[in-house]
Chains A and B, each alone.
Chain A
Amino acid sequence: MADETITAEDPITGEEIEIPGDVEVGEIIDSPITGAELEVVSIDPIALEEAPELEEDWGE
């Protein structure tokens, strides 16, 4: 599954992008077009949103 890809719409550019086939809801991926972080918000149908900006208290 990990080697397979699926197609999704980049929420920033509107273009079709290839993402790993084993993504799950909540996962963060990098847009191959803009490099921006995108969050997977739905799997069926696949939907991406721009991931939230880094906040001060994020981390380990």
Chain B
Amino acid sequence: MNVGVLYSRIRRDEKLLLSELRDRGHEVTKIDVRKERFGVHEPPQAFDGVDIVVDRCLATSRSRYVTRFVDAYDLPVVNDPETAAICADKARNSLVLAEAGIPTPATEVTFTKESAMESIEEFGYPCVLKPVIGSWGRLMAKIDSRDAAEAILEHKETLGHYEHKVFYIQEFVEKPGRDIRVVATDGEPVAAMARSSDHWLTNAARGAETEAIEITDEMADLVERASEAVGGGLLGVDLMETGDSYTVHEVNHTVEFKALNEVSDVDVPATVVDWLESRVRGVEVTA
């Protein structure tokens, strides 16, 4: 098959994927989205002969638009633009998880600092304020006091662009110093790791320590349901342990897997390529 890979930066994750595809004899068409012009009627020439497109854009804005265009060109794209749109936006992400009845942290969205303050006071301290668009734990605030809340809200309202005036406020979940990342393909878990840190943020991108963990039946069930809630695809589902259960805080649509691949016995890129091959076979069968 010929796999189009949308990118603007080849990280270790993309390199693993490209190597696996090439090792299996697949053709790879690298498409640097910075250089392309996406017309509303015709796809750029770069897409000629491509059987499936994999979105590995690092910039969320590019990912959301480019997947829409590729879908409009009637090319299969991983992930689906609707999945990208949901996962890129923490508010939409939380909404679909809650609508599907999946345990997810209590969250409120407000549009003024006064109503944000009301939410914060009601959640109590500490609670968490996150940007609706963003990754790697950036610009997330654990709010420990009213003084801190007032300062952060004022900064956001004064200095932030319009997306920072959508205040996404969430209960603080007392997790056991770690959270869990499960990479899944259409709801089927590939592998899981725990990300541990003394810091309240446990993103691998922030240097959290990672270790492979077993996937329990409950985790697998939540991953399957969370995947379905956002429309399926190649996803990273993030869970926190809450005593004897779990809560799903978000689902990521351009999932990074190099850290998971390093700690897991599972060959993550190989499993992802197995899944891509099955997707293309499925398209050929239904065409």
Of residues A27, A40, A51, A57, which shows the largest number of chain B Cβ atoms within 10 Å of its Cβ?
A57
Q: Closest CB of chain B to A60's CB: distance in Å?
A: 4
A37-60 Cβ-contact flags toward B at 8 Å (1 or 0): 001100000000001000111111
Given the complex of chains A and B, what is the CA–CA distance between A40 and B11 in angstroms? 11
Question: Inter-chain contact count A-B, CB under 8 Å?
Answer: 55
Given the complex of chains A and B, what is the CA–CA distance between A27 and B16 in angstroms? 12
Q: How many residues of B contact A (CB 8 A)?
A: 27
- A59 touching B10 by the CB < 8 A rule? no
Of residues A25, A28, A39, A59, which shows the largest number of chain B Cβ atoms within 10 Å of its Cβ?
A59
* Closest B residue, CB atoms, query A40: B10
Q: Closest CB of chain B to A50's CB: distance in Å?
A: 13
A20-38 Cβ-contact flags toward B at 8 Å (1 or 0): 0000111110000000000
- A59 touching B9 by the CB < 8 A rule? no
Cβ of B155 within 8 Å of any chain A Cβ, yes or no, is no
* Closest A residue, CB atoms, query B135: A59
Chain A residues near B208 (CB-CB < 8 A): none
Q: Closest CB of chain B to A33's CB: distance in Å?
A: 21
- A60 touching B236 by the CB < 8 A rule? yes
Contact of B134 among A25, A27, A39, A57 (CB under 8 A): A57
Cβ of B171 within 8 Å of any chain A Cβ, yes or no, is no
- B9 touching A39 by the CB < 8 A rule? yes
Q: Restricting to B236-269, which residues have a CB under 8 Å from any CB of A? A: 236, 252-256
Name 12 interchain pairs, CB-CB below 8 A, sorted by A: A25-B30, A26-B9, A26-B14, A26-B30, A28-B10, A56-B133, A56-B134, A57-B60, A57-B133, A57-B135, A59-B60, A60-B236
Residues of B within 8 A of A (CB): 7-11, 14-15, 18, 30, 32, 58-61, 133-136, 138-139, 205, 236, 252-256
Residues of A within 8 A of B (CB): 24-28, 39-40, 51, 55-60
A26-B30, A58-B59, A60-B253 known; 16 new pairs, CB 8 Å cut-off, are: A24-B10, A24-B30, A25-B10, A26-B7, A26-B9, A27-B9, A27-B10, A28-B11, A56-B134, A56-B138, A57-B135, A59-B138, A59-B254, A60-B135, A60-B254, A60-B256
